[in-house]
Structure 1
Amino acid sequence: MPNVKKTARKRGPPKRKLAEEFPPGEIFTDLLKKEWKLGPVIGKGGFGCLYLADVNSSKPVTSDAPYVIKVEPSDNGPLFTELSFYMRAAKPDLIKKWISSHKLKYLGVPKYWGSGLHQKNNKSYRFMVMDRFGKDLQKIFEERGNQFTRKTVLQLGLRILDVLEYVHEHEYVHADIKASNLLLGYKAPHQVYLVDYGLAFRYCPEGNHRDYKENPKRCHDGTLEFTSIDAHKGVAPSRRGDLEILGYCMICWLSGKLPWQDNLEDPNYVRDSKIRYTDTIKELMSECFPGKNKPDELTRYMEKVMTLAYNEKPPYEELREIFLQGLKIIGEKDDGILDMEVSENGDVPAKPALKTKRKPAAASKPATTDEDDAETDDMKDQKKRKRASPKKVATQLKLQKTSPKVKTSVRPRRVQK
């Protein structure tokens, strides 16, 4: 059995300096000379810290601060990689222009607000200012019994397709789509944002697509259970890989499992399993959905993605239409409401007649000032849903009490790169 640590390698220096924690009130000045004030630490890893933050003023940073700042020693690599993406593709004006030209309500890409180097005690620290967000989908997925409704899965797919098309059109791929990298809006809990661009790769610099080349030293990059077949083979990430990863995520979110999830200690087994299902997507779906109610739209989506060439531009609109048809089949529409109720084998429970407004979660990762307009739409939809009759409410409560619990599955594990 191969040793995962030997078959997969991390990007960046092999040894990373530990992050120093700065006190609340520390002032950071970005490249444009704008000053930012740190609040309390809300996240800490082996390479850096995440702080609540706000524009500098005489007031302390409060718990409802709209920004976060990532800080790490300047010799470390992950934030440098993210910065390359954010500075090229995530400036507020670029995102705003895309939203307008594509007639979207919002785009789930975090905005870049500033970055720079901070000196203290003869040490240099790299930092980046980003939007603040709420809870990640992995936590919600586990709270819901490791399963989302078919409607929610399809709507997540639509929103993530919007993000991937934008990222791809700006010459990058994400390469690590998963529930823990999808965060709800801090003020708009029905919006979802794709974060963590530490593995983002510029696949098409200056319009020249990278060549397909297998590199045994880079095998299995990404999160093992979801990563693409190309990544398993050590090939540089591409657009089709992002779409393949999204497909595995959606199948897992709806069924609660993937066939290879019980043998993640063997990355070659995971790779071979995915390759085996490439030409037999229906067999993969039968394995994940043993009941009669199989989501045909996910079958069609995966079959289409698996036919894409390495350097081929994906048919984003065609893939969106597949998800929209899936919503139509189950009597739903793309209303922007993420219904997080638990389902059984992909079945959609009775539509909730009453739903209280979800309180914004305390942020543990980067929230956006882009959420305000869409928040108004969410609140309107919620008010409409509150007009249900007491009889329907009682019926829904009864259904929730009798809904079977789903067996907990293994939490996704990040493979070293």
Structure 2
Amino acid sequence: MAGQHRQTRSSSSTHSVSSSNVVGVHYKVGRKIGEGSFGIIYEGINLMNNQQVAIKFESRKSDAPQLREEFRAYKTLAGISGIPTAYYFGQEGLHSILVIDILGPSLEDLFDMCSRKFSIKTVAMLAKQMITRVQSIHERNLIYRDIKPDNFLIGRPNTKYANTIYLIDFGMAKLYRDPKTKQHIPYREKKSLSGTARYMSVNTHLGREQSRRDDLESLGHVFMYFLRGALPWQGLKAATNKQKYERIGEKKQTTSVKDLCEGFPEEFGLYLQYARRLDFEENPNYDYMKDLFDKVLNTLGEEDDGVYDWMLLNDGKGWESRSSLYRNAHRHSAIVALNNAVSSDRPGRQQQQQQQQQQQQQQQQKQQRRLSSKRYSNQHNMYRSTQPMLSDAGVVNYRTMDSTHQLLLQQQQQNELLDDQKRGFLSRCFAENPNYHEGASIHGRHPLHLIEKITRERIQNSLYWKEKCYGLSAATLMDRAFELEYIGGMYGNHQPTEFLCLTLKLLTLLPEKDIIIELIKQEDVKCAYVISALSEQRLTDDLTRYLRALGAFYLRLTGKSKEIYQYLEPLLNDYRKLRVRAGDGYSLTHMDSFIDDLLHKDRVCDIILPRLTSRYVLEQNDELEPRESFLEDELDDE
């Protein structure tokens, strides 16, 4: 069964987590239950209510991180029946973690248990639930684009949701209309294929932009798969995957609905015909489609009583009656429920030795990273964990800050050498562009007016501004910028942070845009010097993160919408920690969270941000390329 689930290569390293570990404040990590493309899955317990959950670990160095996007998708769909609940997303050490509902087996698993045939009654009842799930997603402005049995799961056994059909894995979901204006995406052709070839629509094979109709047609293919046991286009052979997908598409086009549905109630054919005849932007009649399957049940003399084929297995005891069967299915379903991860067998002795070596290497790397961390003064503590993205946004707990760990002091000579190196490249860039652009305006107003008058006056009256910023030139600004140790707006008795003061100074100097882009990208900073690996790590991880944050904040204030998306969105893959100073003390966030705030919030660091044109509008005007999922070109057939 595992072979039928999506598998992709992962750059995330294998790691072990002690069962005594507690993550996300109150989630205790239990036994490992599987491994997937993103990392490793553990069983877990919510210590607040003893609820069993699943905890996904993903390396923060992954080439294609997905847990944050998955968390956002679940939050967008929160409250919909049949959508798992995501409880927590945050960072623990070198990994991102996602805590989510643990569910029962997938429909593909249950299909196997039922000898790869479902009764007409079971398929009709499933169809009503599955259409409802897809309808709910469409009503939240998303299309799913990867309909297949593996992504539909039942609830956990022995609960009132045991036979509720859940939909999981939103890695390929996409907005099909603007959430505010409800304007539909435009029709396009020559699109790359996305989804699972066995179930995807004919229009998808033809390279046409997907819309709601394609999700519904894919559902029809799944229904016939359950009834027939296989589809006519399964098992086709070809020299290359591209040729194979072409053959599948050709077979779908030449197989009539009548032939596909022959021998089964006509309502299945009517459903598929209706889905295929929908226009690109047409709003489907979901009630009509669900009524078709009510008619099927009425014709059979059956009711939608919730008794499915898998409940009748083992002399009516159900699929989970045998403890061994339950354990295997439960173990596998937890993996499937969390993005179709693949369960791994217990490794042999050689594999165990390799894993131990990898763990030792990781520990050594971790120690090296700690030694290369930026030093703070003795009164500053190092925080062990970060500000989480909690299900309840109002709950923030910083008690996990570890006051017993002080950052190690580095040798004074090494610091002085690094200080000389760190200023060289960017200071020279600023020195070449020292002049204020007289008469310049940004967004139709004076640059300094981008900061409110009362805030501007507090900055100009602050001691830091008078002593450290008043006489700064563009060339010497870098000395101050490299000394930043936190971001933030106002703190204490309405005092501005150094971060805010330097932002105002940048607005005074108005450096060239190319220089700000260098601050953000920092590619030349890293390659400008020939320094030791330790120094380079320290330069990259500790000195330039606040410089990047300053550049990103300045660009958000002064840049055009297209430039902001173009240069800030790549920073969503930067997971370095940032200290935040606020009125009630210090907290921690990450660079990607800070960038996300700049892109989506109206006020950051106590500054009202200029209006940002939505990405959707820019895409419609062909000013920006659509931001596709990293799984856009991924295909599965078997």
TM normalised by structure 1 equals 0.68
1:204 equivalenced with 2:189 (yes/no): no
- The yes-or-no answer on 1:191 pairing with 2:191 is no
Matched, 1:318 2:288: yes
- Alpha-carbon distance between aligned partners in 1 of 2:252 and 2:91, rounded to the nearest angstrom: 43
What residue in structure 2 maps to residue 37 of structure 1? 28
**2:85, 2:101 within 8 Å by CA — same for their partners in 1?**
yes
1:284 lines up with 2:254 in the alignment: no
Contact kept, 8 Å, 2:142 with 2:176, in 1: the verdict is yes
Match among 71, 75, 78 for residue 87 of structure 1:
75
User: Aligned pair in 2 of structure 1 residues 295, 18: CA closer, same or farther (>3 Å)?
Assistant: farther
1:348 alignment counterpart = none
Q: Do the aligned partners of residues 70 and 319 (structure 1) sit closer, same or farther apart at CA in structure 2, a change above 3 Å counting? A: same
The match for 1:78 among 62, 66, 70 is 66
Cα deviations across residues 220-272 of structure 1 (Å, max 9, x unaligned)? x2111111223323444321111111100000101111111021651001112
Cα separation, partners in 2 of 1:276 and 1:87, compared to 1, 3 Å: same
Aligned position for 1:172:
142
Return the match for 2:230 from 253, 257, 264: 257
State the alpha-carbon separation in 1 of the partners of residues 265 and 129 from structure 2. Answer: 18
Q: What secondary structure is seen at the aligned counterpart in 2 of 1:70?
A: strand
Using a 3 Å threshold, how does the CA distance of structure 1 residues 272 and 15 change in structure 2: closer, same or farther?
A: same
Q: Unaligned regions of 5+ residues in structure 1, if any?
A: 1-9, 96-106, 287-292, 342-350, 368-412
- The whole-number CA distance in structure 2 between the counterparts of 1:80 and 1:227 is 26
Please tell me whether the aligned partners of residues 19 and 73 of structure 1 are also in contact (alpha carbons under 8 angstroms).
no
CA distance in 2, matches of 1:246, 1:315: 15
Q: CA deviation digits over 1:8-37, x for unaligned, max 9?
A: xx9x9x8633343322232222xxxx5322
Equivalence map 1:403-414=2 (5 Å): none
Structure 1 residue 274 corresponds to structure 2 residue 262:
no
Whether contact under 8 Å (1:18, 1:46) holds in the other structure is no
- Partner of 1:154 in structure 2? 124
Q: Post-superposition shift, 1:275?
A: 2.7
> Once the two structures are superposed, what CA deviation does each residue of 1:384-407 show, in whole Å capped at 9, x if it has no partner?
xxxxxxxxxxxxxxxxxxxxxxxx
Distance 1:414 1:180, change over 3 A: farther
Residue identity in the other structure for 2:299: I
Equivalent residue for 2:20, pick from 15, 20, 25: 25
C-alpha separation between the residues in 2 aligned to 1:299 and 1:322?
10
Question: Does the CA-based 8 Å contact 2:41-2:54 persist in structure 1?
Answer: yes
Aligned-pair identity in percent equals: 27
Counterpart for residue 133 of structure 1: 103
| Structure with greater contact order relative to length (CA < 8 Å, sep ≥ 6) | 1
Q: Rg larger in 1 or in 2?
A: 2
Alpha-carbon contact 1:81-1:199 (below 8 Å) kept: no
How far is the alpha carbon of 1:285 from its aligned partner?
Answer: 2.1
How much has 1:189 moved relative to structure 2? Answer: 3.2
Whichever residue aligns with residue 183 of structure 2, its letter is N
Which residue does the alignment assign to 2:40? 49
Partner of 1:231: 204
> In the alignment, residue 21 of structure 2 is paired with which amino acid?
E
CA contact (8 A) 1:172 1:200 kept: yes
Distance between the aligned counterparts of 1:35 and 1:44, measured in 2?
Answer: 23
Q: Deviations over 1:257-300 (max 9, x none)?
A: 111102165100111222334xx3113223xxxxxx42211001
Distance verdict in 2 for CA 1:414–1:151, change over 3 Å: farther
Q: Matches of 1:53 and 1:260 in 2, distance apart? A: 41
Q: Give the letter aligned to residue 359 of structure 1.
A: E
Deviations 1:101-144 (A, max 9, x none): xxxxxx2211222212222xxx2x22221111112221221222
CA distance in 2, matches of 1:222, 1:149: 27
In structure 1, distance between residues paired with 2:258 and 2:195? 25
What residue number does 2:55 align with?
69
- Name the CA distance, whole Å, in 2 between partners of 1:115 and 1:332: 44
Give yes or no for contact 1:26–1:38 (8 Å, CA) kept in 2. yes
Relative to structure 1, the CA distance from residue 22 to residue 237 in structure 2 (aligned partners, 3 Å threshold; closer, same or farther) is farther
- Is residue 106–residue 152 contact of structure 2 (8 Å, CA) maintained in 1? yes
In the other structure, the counterpart of 1:100 is: none
Assess if the C-alpha contact under 8 Å between 2:188 and 2:209 holds in 1: yes
Query: How many residues were matched structurally?
Result: 314
What residue is the counterpart of 2:619 in the other structure?
Answer: none
Task: Could you tell me which runs of 5 or more consecutive residues in structure 2 were left unpaired when the two chains were aligned.
Answer: 1-5, 239-243, 339-633
**Hey, which of these two has a bigger chunk of helix by percent?**
2
- Secondary structure of the residue aligned to 1:319 is helix
**In the alignment, residue 636 of structure 2 is paired with which amino acid?**
V
**Aligned to 2:253, what secondary structure does the other structure show?**
helix
Cα separation, 2, equivalents of 1:328 and 1:315: 21
Structure 2 residue matching 1:53: 3-state secondary structure: strand
Asked if the contact 2:74/2:83 (under 8 Å) is kept, the reply is no
TM-score if structure 2 supplies the norm length?
0.46
Go from structure 1 to structure 2 and tell me whether the alpha carbon gap of 1:208 and 1:132 turns closer, same or farther (over 3 Å shift). Answer: same
Alignment partners' CA distance in 1, 2:135 and 2:126:
14
RMSD of equivalent CA atoms: 2.9
